[in-house]
Amino acid sequence: EIVLTQSPGTMSLSPGERATLSCRSSQTVSRNNLAWYQQKPGQAPRLLIYDASSRATGIPDRFTGSGSGTDFTLTISRLEPEDFAVYYCQHYGSSSPTYTFGQGTKLEIK
């Protein structure tokens, strides 16, 4: 069973700064099987990135997904006030199939 480990657990940054969020898998995964979601307090998650680097509809281009193998990254180039939220990575395993989430990274205002 694949385990996704996100780091850091909490990140404190200021608007305008660059955020780099990490998602590490316990096994090599296909790029096509990794996604990122954003969740704001009291709201449902929202799909940001799928297939490791494809932006979902309506997602600003300041959000970029990258990585391969066991290491994946979500980069937010210049933080806007509305970007402060919790971010989850997710793996899709086609064999069972299974859907595994990381534990999340909370991005908070410094």
The enclosing H or E element of 100 equals strand 98-101
- The single residue listed with the structure tokens 């859907």 is 99
Which CB sits closer to other proteins, 33 or 83? 33
Phi/psi of residue 86, nearest 5 degrees: -105, 135
- Cα 103 to Cα 40: distance, rounded to the nearest angstrom: 15
Which window, 18-26, 63-71, 74-82, 84-92, contacts other proteins (CB under 8 A)? 84-92
To other proteins, the closest distance from the beta carbon of 61 in angstroms equals 18
Question: Is residue 97 close enough to count as binding other proteins by CB under 8 A?
Answer: yes
Nearest of 77, 78, 76 to residue 105 by alpha carbon: 76
Question: Is residue 107 close enough to count as binding other proteins by CB under 8 A?
Answer: no
What residues make contact with other proteins under the rule CB under 8 A?
A: 33, 35, 37, 44-47, 50, 56-57, 88, 90, 92, 97-104
